[in-house]
Amino acid sequence: MKTKAVISFLAAVMLCFTGCANDDSSSKAEKKADKPSSSASEKEASPGGDGSSGNVIDKLFGFLNPGESSSNDSSTTDSMSDDSSTVPTKAGTVPASQKIGQSGPKAVDEVSLTVEDMDISQLVDFEDLYGRHALHTGVVGLVGSPVDVKFDTNEITSGRLDFHVVRSELHGIRPDALMFLWYDEENDNYVEQEMTELDIVDDENLDVLLDITKPGVYLLVNKYTWLNTWGAGLDDNGYEKDYVPGLYDIAPSTDWAGNEDTGDILDMIDEQYIMDSLSDTGSADFKVSTPEQLASACYFVNCVNMENGNPPTINITLEKDIDLKGVAWSPIGWNMAGKDNRFKGFFNGGGHTIKNVTVSTGYNTGFFGETCFCYVQDLNIENADITGANEVGVLVGSDVRSSFSNVSVSGKVKGGGAGAMIGREAGAMILDCKADVDVNDGSEASDYLSYTRYQQKVLGDEFGYPEKIELKGHKVVRKGSSSEEYHNLQWYFMIDGSSFLEIGASKDFDVDDALAKVAVNGTIPDSEYTVALYAFVDQCYIPVSNVITLDINEFNK
C-alpha cells in the first residue's frame, strides 16, 4: 500500500492594500482578469492512487470520465506488519497547516498538496492572494481565494492539489460547476483545468482535486459564469435547480457573496421593502427604522448599485436609532477589478445613533467598506467593534473624496491602516466630526480621525519640512525650492484641516481663485483656510512645507 505525505495549508495571510491592490499587475487587472484562456483546456483526469478516483463524481454527477484505476505495483508497495490495520508512517513526515480565506471569501478554507511517499512539509508553500493581487482577485466567477502554490520542480514533479470547499459558502453554485484556472505567467493568461476528482466529504464539505505538475496561481471559478462571460451561450448557469437568488438576478448578488464576507445581511433582507424604496428610474430612497431595513439598503448598494459603472442615486435616511447587537454586519460598499459597488450616495443619520456595529472582515472594513464622492452627515455610531486586515475605521475602511459632517463615533478598531473614524482616505472632507475610539489597543493613531492623517504627520515629521512658503499679497509663493527631490509636488488648499483643492506647484498659489470656489453669494464661510505644499512620499501625500493660515477678514472685504 502506498502512503501519502500531505502538506496542508489552512488559510490566513495578512495582506496589505494600496488602492485596489499593491501588486504591479493592478494596471492590467481589468484587461487580463476578464480574459479567458486562448489555449485549449487542460483536462487533468487521471485516477487517484487508491484506485477510487471518479467513483463519487460518476454516481452523483456523471460529468467526468476519470479513466481506469491504477493498480498497486508490488515493487513500490511499502512493507507492512502482519496486522493489516497498521500502516507505517514514513519517518520524518511533518504536516504543515495554516488558515487561508480569512481576508476574503470563505468558500475555500483549506488547500493541500499530496505527493506519494514523500515528506514535503518543508518543500511547499502557499499564499492567499485575495485582495493583494488585483488581477487574480478580479477574475470573473471567482470562488474562494486565489492561491499561489510554490514548490521547486527539481524536488517535486507532480502532486494532487486539493481545495477544501465549505458548501454553504458556494451560495447556490453546484459542486460540478467548479473549474480550476491556472495562471500561465509566461503568456499572461489563464488556462482552464477541469478537476481531476470531486470528493463529497459530507453535507457541508467537499474536496475539489486536481493533478498538477507546475507551481503557480490556482483558483476555482464557476465555469458557466466564466465561459458565458466570453460568449459561450450556455443555457446552464452552474447553480442548484432549487437555488433562489432573491430579489435580483444571480450575477450581482453572487459577485458580492462570492468575493466578500456578507455577514448576516443575506438572512435579513426585506425584498418588499427594497421594491417599495425604488423609483421607476432605479434610484432608491431608503427610510430606515429597523436593522432589517438597514441590511436591505446594504444589500442594494453591494449587489445592484451599479449600472454600466454609474450607480443610480441612493439616499439612506435614519428615522430611528438602530441597535445591531448580535448582528454580524457587512460593510456597505465594496470594490474590485471590474466591479465598482462603492457607496456613492447620501446617508443622513438624522441625528440618530447606530449602536453595537460589529464587523470582522478582510480589507476596507467599517460600517461602510469603500466610499467614493458620498455624503454622510448627522450620524452617531456607538460602541463599535471593528476588526480587519487593512484599511479599518469605525465609519469607513477606505474613502475617495467624500464629505463627512457632524459624525461621532466610539468603540474600538484593530487592523493595519486603522484610523479612529476612517482608515485610508484621499481628499476626504471631514467637518465637525469626533471620535472616542481605541485604535489597536491605544496606538498613537487613536488621536487621528483617519489613518492617512496619522501617516501624514508621522512621515512629515520624519521627512522634515524643507520647503518654505510665504504669503505675498493675494498669492502664496515658494521662498526656496528642492522640488526635484519630490514626486508630484502640489499646493494643498485646506478648509478646517481637510483638503479642498490640490493644484500642481509649477506656479504660485492664487488665493483669490481658490476662495472663489467656496464663496456663497460673494461671502466666504467662516472656517479656517490654510495652504501648504505636499509631495508624494512613501505611498502617501505628506506636507513638506510650513503652513500658511489665511486671514479671511482681509479677503472678505
- pLDDT given for residue 153 in this prediction: 93
C-alpha cell at position 405:
459632517
- pLDDT given for residue 241 in this prediction: 76
Residue at grid coordinates 467656496: 518
- The answer to whether the CB of 140 falls within 8 A of the CB of 197 is no
pTM, two decimal places: 0.63
Rounded Cα gap, residues 484 and 509, in angstroms: 19
- pLDDT given for residue 310 in this prediction: 53
The domains located in the chain, with CATH, are 4-76+89-229 (no CATH), 254-460 (2.160.20), 465-555 (2.60.40)
- pLDDT given for residue 484 in this prediction: 57
pLDDT per position as a tens digit, 394-419 = 999 999 989 999 999 999 999 999 99
- The answer to whether the CB of 342 falls within 8 A of the CB of 372 is yes
- Sites in the chain below the pLDDT cut of 50: 1-96, 248-251, 307-309
Residue 217 C-alpha from the chain's centroid: 18
- pLDDT given for residue 306 in this prediction: 56
Q: Where are the beta strands (DSSP E) in 393-486?
A: 396-400, 403-418, 422-426, 429-431, 434-439, 469-472, 475-478
- pLDDT given for residue 183 in this prediction: 96
The distance in angstroms from the start CA to the end CA of the chain is 94
- pLDDT given for residue 37 in this prediction: 41
Rounded Cα gap, residues 226 and 213, in angstroms: 24
- Cβ-count burial of 396 within 10 angstroms (0-12 exposed, 13-18 middle, 19+ buried)? buried
